[in-house]
Amino acid sequence: MALDTESKKGSAQISQAETVRIWILTDNYYDALRPDHVVAKRYRVRPGESIHAEHGLAYFIETVVDGQTSTCVFDFGLDPRGIINNAKLLNIDFGRADAFVLSHGHFDHWTGATEVLRQNPGSAEKRMQFYVGKEAFLHRYSRRSGTGELMDIGQLDRQAIQESGVRVTEVTTPTRIIPGCYSTGKIERVTGYESVPPSLLVERDGKIQPDDFRGEQALFFNIRGKGIVILSGCAHAGIVNTIKQCQRVSGIKKVHAVLGGFHLINAKPEIIQTTVADIKEIGPDFIAPAHCTGFEAIVAFSQAMPKEFILNTAGTQYTFSAS
């Protein structure tokens, strides 16, 4: 594992963070009147401005480890104008970012990337890392339900990303992104029910094939005294598989929070219920399903885990601090 570790009595331990802050730069939903939560501060609109919501997802992340602050961007949303608008309203300066990460190669996670990179003049000067998983730059398709029509859903341009001044780094094993923030590496499939819909396709070796998302990445953080916080893009590999991967890699069983897309939209009711039951058994302190989780699954989580559930909204700032 290419992890930033600390040695203690001969064993490797993932760095503990005093604080992790996660801003939801964009998500599918915004509610100006949603109240704050113990770990979530909502953005309040003012006359003449509004948070932009879309079918996309993007995060700005800040970690504090041993008193030192580091930052990164995870995913880049769909509409660059919306991302830049939201960043300004949230007082986020992309020029502060020390690294960039892409969860997977779907357009609702990378379309805003080149504009975000242009907002960071240090990218070219420092040749900062742009972390991706395997196959992030392949051409992708989706087969429309009911018609069989093949939809071209785009391809991230590797050359355009590199010309923005960053160094593209493909990760296949768990990797430190910034101090206190780690990628999962390849997410192992250990559940028997989490599978990728056959409608999602990729062009591989000149042939259009089912996309198994072999390179999908999630992030995790070890909050001192609290457990791990898991941040997902879409969890095409399965959100339970993703959680278990983070537990396995970190060696930490206690899950403090799970946030992000769970890709249960249009899932069969029995799959949703099994997923909810498994996560409830894992026992996170907080859960905030977002983006592609789907209305039915979000409702199921809110009903099964009412004390832990947080309704995610674009513009929310989450803060997780050590005890």
User: Residue 1: its pLDDT value, please?
Assistant: 44
d(CA 91, CA 321): 21
CA dihedral 253, 26, 274, 188 (to 10 degrees): -50
Give the gyration radius of the chain's Cα atoms.
18
- E strands within 114-191? 129-132, 140-143, 150-152, 167-170, 175-178, 181-183
Q: Which of 109, 123, 114, 115 is nearest to 59 (CA)?
A: 109
* Cβ count within 10 A of residue 122: 14
In this structure, is residue 277 part of a structural domain?
no
Look up the domain containing 81 and give its range: 5-227+316-321
Amino acid at 88: K
Confidence of residue 323 (pLDDT cuts 50, 70, 90): confident
Q: Alpha-carbon distance 98 to 120, whole Å?
A: 10
What is the number of domains present in the chain?
1
Within a domain: 257: no
Q: Quick one: pLDDT at residue 123?
A: 75
Cα 147 to Cα 222: distance, rounded to the nearest angstrom: 45
Is 11 a residue whose pLDDT tops 70?
A: no
Q: Which two tokens stand for residue 75?
A: 């995913």
Asked whether the predicted pLDDT for residue 12 surpasses 50, the reply is: no
Closest to 323 in 3D by CA, of 227, 245, 258: 227
- Measured distance CA(22)–CA(90) in Å, rounded: 12
Taking 50 as the threshold, does the pLDDT of residue 9 lie above it? no
121 belongs to a structural domain: yes
The yes-or-no verdict on residue 148 having pLDDT over 80 is no
Lowest mean pLDDT among 19-33, 81-95, 146-160, 307-321: 146-160
Q: Tell whether 219 is covered by a domain.
A: yes
Q: Which of 259, 64, 18 has the alpha carbon at shortest distance from 179?
A: 64
Q: What is the mean pLDDT of residues 41-50?
A: 92
| 220 domain-assigned | yes
Predicted TM-score of the model (pTM): 0.95
What's the pLDDT at 163?
Answer: 92
100 belongs to a structural domain = yes
- The mean pLDDT value of the chain amounts to 93
Q: CB of 136 within 8 A of CB of 104?
A: yes
- At residue 3, the pLDDT reads 61
In sequence order, which residues have a C-beta less than 8 Å from that of residue 5 and are 6 or more positions away? 12, 13, 14, 15
- What is the pLDDT at residue 5? 42
Q: Residue 180, CB half-sphere, CA atoms under 13 Å: how many?
A: 28
Residue 10: predicted pLDDT: 29
In a domain, 214, yes or no: yes
The pLDDT value recorded for residue 56 is 97
CA dist 123 → 15, 84, 127, 177 (Å): 25, 17, 5, 15
Write down the pLDDT at residue 126: 75
The domain spanning residue 189 has which CATH number? 3.60.15.10
> Residue 238 falls within a domain, yes or no?
no
b/e burial code for range 147-184 (CB count within 10 A of at least 16 → b): eeeeeeeebbeeeebeebbbebeebeebbbbbbbbbbb
